[in-house]
Amino acid sequence: MIANPIETVAPVEASNESQAASQSFSAEALSLMQALPKQTDRFDKLDRTELVDFGLIKKGETVKESIKIDGSDCEYYVRVPKSYDPAKPTPIIFAFHGYGAEPGQGDVPAGAKGMELATGLSERAEKDGFIVVYLNGNPDEKNAWNNKQWFFSKRDDIKFTSTLMDNIQRDLNVDPDRIYMVGFSNGASFVHNAVNKLAGRVAAIADVSGWMTGQETAAAKGVSVLAIHSKDDPSVKFDGRPIWQGVEMKPSPYTLEHYRQINDLNSRNSVHMKTALDGTTVTTHEWQNGTNGTEVKAIFLEKEGHLWFGGKANEKASVNATDEVLKFFEKHPKGK
């Protein structure tokens, strides 16, 4: 069973600390202290994550935390496995849920907690020994991610992500060659936007039922990419949505071609087809041995809709997205 998230106690405000500390000082000493310039302003301006020591987070439980980015509280959950050894570099996965404020597949809650429950990544973290962080989208915009499309969020989610990376690496022994990002739907679209700006830190990404916008400006060279998509997806059309409330969703083949060209992969690819238990066809395309050993891989399904395939309430899907993502990440540390 996945443990319930633990709400962290808010830090005690500086004024309360000063009041408690004054009990151990003489009135004269206290008056001298009060005459000194205030130091609290410097700390007030820091993101709250500066006050979180990730090394003290209880292992084997999913812990809820928040940081302040540009004045806004940004929530996330972190799971450090029981097997975590501070003497050993540990892989880490940053996971980004889909858009929406309503419960998701299997009636999981919207947002980061739902991503944990739908994917089963925390259970796999305990089994396979990696850290997983579930970031929460903008609650003021139905948990949307800023993928640079007006319909979604304007929050600086790249800053949110990079700040978490910085602080977790400060406190935990994270393997710098095994930092990964995975997203579902709008979360996957954000990952495509973010990896172009964090490519030097990220080894590989995975896109489940997501899309590219065509606005991704910088090249994510040297990053391996996995995309899993169903051809009958009613929300993120496999062939794209040229106009959807002014928002363009590029077709799935666009994603593959984008990363194939960036990573200097030959246009020829290996294609594997198999028949799933439900009688549908699963088609896998692979382009291998690109820049720094990169790979671009796509798994295309036929009748699976818009889901985290094989996740909660979809256990009989033709593929298990969590299994496929973890196998792909295991295969691809950051290229040298």
Residue pair 52/65 in contact (Cβ under 8 Å)? The answer is yes
For residue 53, being part of any structural domain is answered with: no
Question: Rounded to whole angstroms, how far apart are CA atoms 234 and 28?
Answer: 72
CATH code for the domain of 124: 3.40.50.1820
In tens, the pLDDT along 210-221 reads: 999 888 876 678
Report phi then psi at 294, rounded to 5.
Answer: -70, 160
> Domain total for the chain?
1
pLDDT at 2 over 60: no
**Is there a domain that residue 20 lies in?**
no
Average pLDDT over residues 295-318: 95
Amino acid at 175: D
The per-residue pLDDT for range 315-336, each reduced to its tens digit, is 999 999 999 999 999 999 997 6
pLDDT for the residue numbered 271: 95
pTM of the predicted model, to two decimals? Answer: 0.83
The conformation of residue 50, written as its DSSP 8-state character, comes to G
Q: What's the chain's Rg over C-alpha atoms?
A: 22
Q: Of residues 277 and 91, which shows the higher confidence score?
A: 91
Owning domain of residue 218: 76-331
pLDDT digits (tens, 9 = 90+) for 7-47: 332 333 334 333 333 333 233 332 322 333 333 332 233 34
Q: Is residue 149 part of a domain?
A: yes
Indicate whether 289 belongs to any domain.
yes
The answer as to whether 52 is a domain residue is no
- Work out the end-to-end distance of the chain between its first and last CA atoms, rounded to an integer number of angstroms: 38
Q: Is residue 7 part of a domain?
A: no
DSSP annotation of 53 reads -
In a domain, 244, yes or no: yes
Q: What is the pLDDT of residues 75-90, one digit of tens each?
A: 999 999 999 999 999 9
Give the DSSP per-residue string, 152-211: S--S-HHHHHHHHHHHHHHHS-EEEEEEEEEEETHHHHHHHHHHHHHTTT-SEEEEES--
Is 205 within a domain? yes
pLDDT in tens, 278-296: 889 999 999 998 888 999 9
Tokens describing residue 327: 């196998």
